Amino acid sequence: MGVSIKEIARLTGVSRGTVDRALNDRAGIDPAVKEKVLKVATEQGYRSNKAGRILGLRKKPLRIGVQMPSEGNDFFLGVRAGLERAVAARADFGVSMALRTMKGFDPTLQVRQVRDLLAEGIQALALVPISHPDILALLEELHERHLPVLTVNTDIVGGKRLGYVGTDYLSSGLAAGGVLRLLADGRPLRVLVLTGSFRMLGHNQRVEGFRRALESSAPGLSILGVEETEDDDGIAYGKLSAALDRTPAPEAVYVAAGGVAGACRAIEEHGVAGIGPGRVRIIGNDLTPAIRDYLERGVLTATIGQQPFEQGYQAIRLLFDHHVDGTLPPDRTLTHNEIVIAENLKGGTP
Amino acid sequence: MGVSIKEIARLTGVSRGTVDRALNDRAGIDPAVKEKVLKVATEQGYRSNKAGRILGLRKKPLRIGVQMPSEGNDFFLGVRAGLERAVAARADFGVSMALRTMKGFDPTLQVRQVRDLLAEGIQALALVPISHPDILALLEELHERHLPVLTVNTDIVGGKRLGYVGTDYLSSGLAAGGVLRLLADGRPLRVLVLTGSFRMLGHNQRVEGFRRALESSAPGLSILGVEETEDDDGIAYGKLSAALDRTPAPEAVYVAAGGVAGACRAIEEHGVAGIGPGRVRIIGNDLTPAIRDYLERGVLTATIGQQPFEQGYQAIRLLFDHHVDGTLPPDRTLTHNEIVIAENLKGGTP
DNA sequence: CTGAAAGCGCTTACAG
DNA sequence: CTGAAAGCGCTTACAG
């Protein structure tokens, strides 16, 4: 392979320690010497060796903090599985994880949990950020402390972070619209959209993507209305039940956020589950155990998965690579919007 | 973390070299000493450290041979990208790759190319095996030489190999059937199936999965016939064109192997592209540039992707981990059967 | 059969 | 500011 630090030291006529100082921007080195070392390194096309670096770094192993508002949200089980798998695969490289979770979306609590992690001495953070000024301020502070942060699953507008790993919400809505386009097979259908909250950027982006899909390639599909579920199954159940009793009743439903199971229950209890004339087709999001069950039983028509395992796995991988190498992660690492139906539920990666 | 080899040596009262001999089944060690070392190691819960091992092994880096009948088959471009990415990510760990490709399915040539790789000194092999006695014999020989082999994309019945990374063909056909179930939305549809060859196990499994999907959940869909394309676009074009002129004409087509682009061309030229009444819906496999184009233009309804990038990536990962650790790969590592339509073509991992 | 040494490519105290 | 040394956890010749 390439040249080693030893070789650079020999060529420059300095010690390996000095080469290390020059290459890694450490303090206490004569600028002239540094320049000379850097010049030789460039000439030789020096690239630090990851294996050597990992072993050398073992005295101060990388502890990654993770904070997510995931309690009571099965989606994050998948993210967690991915985080854990990635950490396990790198345990021998000195990687470990400290996890804090909470229920709901209280920014004060999120700040507190992140501070707890900092007190524990984490050197990098993966965060599912709440959209709130306090979180923006926190990110600003972490940036100044040079603590690398990755946002996961949800990004935060204007937040300082190294990168984002998660869903492209617009594409997610597009995919849902696409499935309904196929289902309609050229016929008109009245669609009710249930979103989580109009105040959630991601939710709105999904609805927007859905609209665009219909407009551009399925003009026969008309949106009856867009209602909020507050990510709550009970509310989703209530609103959809009411809609099914009204005239004209929806012939299809797109649940753009939480409440998929509640909506499925409403459809099932109204005796209109399934596809075909007189039935109410329903497209959801994510693949929790409850959603999986509705898919298998033929109540839920399809769901758009956002690869939670992959989100967790990549977050760890990117933070570790950055730690070792200084490799900068892409600004946005987007997971694929998987179309999942009963028939491709099994098999394949999580 | 855990104990090191140094600690085991100290506790057993032998040198590190001897511990290494015991732990790694090397020759030249007193059985009694070996037993003692092993006992201590077990007591201490010793697990070798991957970082140390990788650096220690740098003197004889891992060269992985890859042979695939991929020329003229765009699908394998994705596999290759995955292979290359995984090798690049491990280049600092001493991993490199030697690749041999060929056009068509000549077992004699496959054997020769593998022998070339062996002559180059490869220490592991990823192979897209042709189903042929010569290949079985080759695998037997490699097994005796203790050369780890992974079959990729296609498995070979009765072949000795460490594991398989690739598609679950039955599930792939199931997924295709599921998409057509949605498209039919409860109505009857006449479906023509175009397969590659009745002599290809994978192709037959796909057709079987497709049949099962229809039988179990879409009884209204009837299979008009199953015809062979020999994986050739010209033949697929010819056979489908003829079928579209017959009565009753198919209302949907499932192309279970090669020939997707040819079939799309037939549909387009007959002026029946698209979905809806009077149109011929078509489900294909894989996501080559040509297929992607037909999806975008609305000729191809959907395609079932088998994650070629992932197949290549995982093959390298598993062979490397086995080399370092002795970790045995799963017998079958199955990729997900992705449902790809125009609306979820973009974004996400390759 | 066994041990002591050198080395993989880096980092980190410790002297000076 | 700089160098020499020790160390990360392993493997591999080389003596004996």
Distance B307 CA to C12 C1' (A): 44
> pLDDT-based confidence at B57, cuts 50/70/90?
confident
CA-closest candidate to residue A164, choices A176, A175, A154, A173: A154
Taking an 8 Å cut-off on Cβ atoms, the answer to whether B338 and A344 are in contact is: yes
Do both B128 and B160 map to the same domain?
Answer: yes
Distance A150 CA to C9 C1' (A): 29
Both tokens of A254, joined, read: 């797109």
| Contact present, A150 and A162 (Cβ < 8 Å) | yes
On whether residue A190 sits in a domain, the answer given is: yes
**pLDDT value at residue B214:** 97
Do both A152 and A173 map to the same domain?
Answer: no
Taking an 8 Å cut-off on Cβ atoms, the answer to whether A339 and B344 are in contact is: yes
| Contact present, A65 and A100 (Cβ < 8 Å) | yes
Q: Is A350's pLDDT higher than 60?
A: no
Q: What CATH number corresponds to the domain at position B44?
A: 1.10.260.40
Chain B contacts in chain A segment 186-205 (CB below 8 A): 186-187
Residue A67's H or E segment, with its range, is strand A63-71
Q: Is there a cis peptide before residue A129, judged by omega within 30 degrees of 0?
A: no
**pLDDT value at residue B350:** 41
Angle between helices B169-184 and A169-184 (to 10 degrees): 70
| Contact present, B180 and B281 (Cβ < 8 Å) | yes
CB-based contacts of A86, cutoff 8 Å, min separation 6: A312, A313, A314, A315, A316, A317, A320
Do both B181 and B282 map to the same domain?
Answer: yes
- Calculate how close chain A gets to B57, using CA atoms only, in Å: 11
Mean of pLDDT values over A249-268: 97
Q: Looking at chain B, which residue has its C-alpha nearest residue A216?
A: B343
Environment class of residue A230 by beta-carbon count within 10 Å: exposed (0-12), middle (13-18) or buried (19+)?
middle
Do both B105 and B122 map to the same domain?
Answer: yes
CB of A277 within 8 Å of a chain B CB? The answer is yes
Both tokens of A260, joined, read: 């998929």
Both tokens of B346, joined, read: 């973009």
**pLDDT value at residue B348:** 46
**pLDDT value at residue A66:** 98
> pLDDT-based confidence at B58, cuts 50/70/90?
confident
DSSP per-residue string spanning B211-280: HHHHHHH-TTEEEEEEEE-TT-HHHHHHHHHHHHHSSSPPSEEEE-SS-HHHHHHHHHHTT--SSSTT--
Do both A27 and A12 map to the same domain?
Answer: yes
Query: Cα–Cα distance between B330 and B315 in angstroms, integer?
Result: 11
Give the nearest partner residue to B51 out of A93, A182, A184, using CB atoms.
A93
- Calculate how close chain B gets to A306, using CA atoms only, in Å: 9
Residue A242: phi and psi, rounded to 5, are -60, -45
B 9-48: CB within 7 Å of strand D: 16-17, 20, 23-24, 48
Query: Cα–Cα distance between B202 and B156 in angstroms, integer?
Result: 10
**CB of B60 within 7 Å of some strand D atom:** yes
Query: Cα–Cα distance between B217 and B186 in angstroms, integer?
Result: 10
Q: What CATH number corresponds to the domain at position A321?
A: 3.40.50.2300
Distance B166 CA to D15 C1' (A): 50
CB of B49 within 8 Å of a chain A CB? The answer is yes
**CB of B242 within 7 Å of some strand D atom:** no
- Least confident interval from A108-122, B8-22, B145-159: B8-22
Q: Looking at chain A, which residue has its C-alpha nearest residue B95?
A: A1
- Least confident interval from A340-349, B242-251, B264-273: A340-349
Query: Cα–Cα distance between B82 and B86 in angstroms, integer?
Result: 6
Number of domains in chain A: 3
Distance A338 CA to C5 C1' (A): 56
**CB of A16 within 7 Å of some strand D atom:** yes
Both tokens of B326, joined, read: 């002795």
Q: Mind listing the pLDDT tens digit for each residue in B179-198?
A: 999 999 999 999 999 999 99
Do both B162 and B183 map to the same domain?
Answer: no
On whether residue A52 sits in a domain, the answer given is: no
CA-closest candidate to residue B177, choices B125, B142, B219: B219
Distance B22 CA to C3 C1' (A): 14
Give the nearest partner residue to A341 out of B1, B51, B182, using CB atoms.
B182
On chain C, which bases lie within 7 A of the protein's CB atoms? 1-14
Do both A173 and A301 map to the same domain?
Answer: yes
Chain B contacts in chain A segment 296-315 (CB below 8 A): 298, 301-302, 304, 307, 310
Do both A178 and A293 map to the same domain?
Answer: yes
User: What is each CA distance from B51 to A54, B4, B10, B44, B112, in whole angstroms?
Assistant: 7, 12, 21, 19, 36
On whether residue A347 sits in a domain, the answer given is: no
Both tokens of B138, joined, read: 């080759």
On whether residue B262 sits in a domain, the answer given is: yes
| Contact present, B192 and B224 (Cβ < 8 Å) | yes
CA A166, distance to chain mean position in Å, is 3
Q: Mind listing the pLDDT tens digit for each residue in B96-127?
A: 999 999 988 899 999 999 999 999 999 999 99
Number of C-beta neighbours around residue A170 at 10 A: 19
**pLDDT value at residue B298:** 96
Domain that residue A108 falls in: 62-167+309-335
Q: Is there a cis peptide before residue B248, judged by omega within 30 degrees of 0?
A: yes
Look at strands A332-334 and A96-103 and give their pairing: unpaired
Do both A67 and A179 map to the same domain?
Answer: no
Do both A191 and A163 map to the same domain?
Answer: no
Both tokens of A75, joined, read: 């989606």
Query: Cα–Cα distance between B111 and B138 in angstroms, integer?
Result: 7
**CB of B1 within 7 Å of some strand D atom:** yes
| Contact present, B34 and B80 (Cβ < 8 Å) | no
- Calculate how close chain B gets to A51, using CA atoms only, in Å: 6
**pLDDT value at residue A1:** 62
**CB of A27 within 7 Å of some strand D atom:** yes
Q: What is the dihedral sign for C-alpha B308, B310, B313, B318?
A: negative
User: What is each CA distance from B169 to B103, B232, B300, in whole angstroms?
Assistant: 23, 19, 20
- B221-228: strand order across its sheet: A221-228, A189-195, A252-255, A281-285, A302-305, A338-340, B338-340, B302-305, B281-285, B252-255, B189-195, B221-228
Mean of pLDDT values over B76-84: 96
CB-based contacts of B176, cutoff 8 Å, min separation 6: B206, B209, B210, B213, B254, B256, B283, B285, B304
Distance A52 CA to C8 C1' (A): 8
Q: Is B137's pLDDT higher than 60?
A: yes
Q: Mind listing the pLDDT tens digit for each residue in B257-309?
A: 999 999 999 999 999 999 999 999 999 999 999 999 999 999 999 999 999 99
Distance B19 CA to D13 C1' (A): 16
Taking an 8 Å cut-off on Cβ atoms, the answer to whether A182 and B310 are in contact is: no
- Calculate how close chain B gets to A35, using CA atoms only, in Å: 26
On whether residue B227 sits in a domain, the answer given is: yes
Distance B149 CA to C3 C1' (A): 36
- Calculate how close chain A gets to B218, using CA atoms only, in Å: 11
Q: Mind listing the pLDDT tens digit for each residue in A57-104?
A: 877 889 999 999 888 888 999 999 999 999 999 999 999 999 999 988
Query: Cα–Cα distance between B118 and B145 in angstroms, integer?
Result: 11
On whether residue B297 sits in a domain, the answer given is: yes
Question: Which of A180, A182, A189, A338 is the mutation pick for testing B, counting most B CBs within 10 A?
Answer: A182
Give the nearest partner residue to A347 out of B55, B337, B347, using CB atoms.
B337
Do both B265 and B313 map to the same domain?
Answer: no
On whether residue B342 sits in a domain, the answer given is: no
> Which residues in A lie closer than 8 A to residue B350 (C-beta atoms)?
none
The SS3 of residue B135 is helix
Query: Cα–Cα distance between B90 and B319 in angstroms, integer?
Result: 12
Taking an 8 Å cut-off on Cβ atoms, the answer to whether B343 and A276 are in contact is: no
Phi-psi region of A10 (alpha: psi -120 to 50; beta: other; left: phi over 0): alpha
> pLDDT-based confidence at B347, cuts 50/70/90?
low
On whether residue B91 sits in a domain, the answer given is: yes
**pLDDT value at residue B228:** 96
Do both B231 and B283 map to the same domain?
Answer: yes
Give the nearest partner residue to B334 out of A50, A51, A347, using CB atoms.
A347
Q: Is A171's pLDDT higher than 50?
A: yes
Query: Cα–Cα distance between A47 and B194 in angstroms, integer?
Result: 51
CB of A45 within 8 Å of a chain B CB? The answer is no
> pLDDT-based confidence at B70, cuts 50/70/90?
confident
What is the percent of chain A with per-residue pLDDT over 90, rounded to a whole number?
A: 88
CB of B334 within 8 Å of a chain A CB? The answer is yes
> pLDDT-based confidence at B1, cuts 50/70/90?
low
CB of B345 within 8 Å of a chain A CB? The answer is no
On chain D, which bases lie within 7 A of the protein's CB atoms? 1-14
Q: Is A347's pLDDT higher than 60?
A: no
**CB of B57 within 7 Å of some strand D atom:** yes
**pLDDT value at residue B72:** 81
Place of tokens 């290359």: B84
Distance B19 CA to C2 C1' (A): 11
The SS3 of residue A100 is strand
Question: Which of B182, B309, B317, B327 is the mutation pick for testing A, counting most A CBs within 10 A?
Answer: B182
Q: How many CB pairs under 8 A join A and B?
A: 160
Q: Is A348's pLDDT higher than 50?
A: no
CA A217, distance to chain mean position in Å, is 28
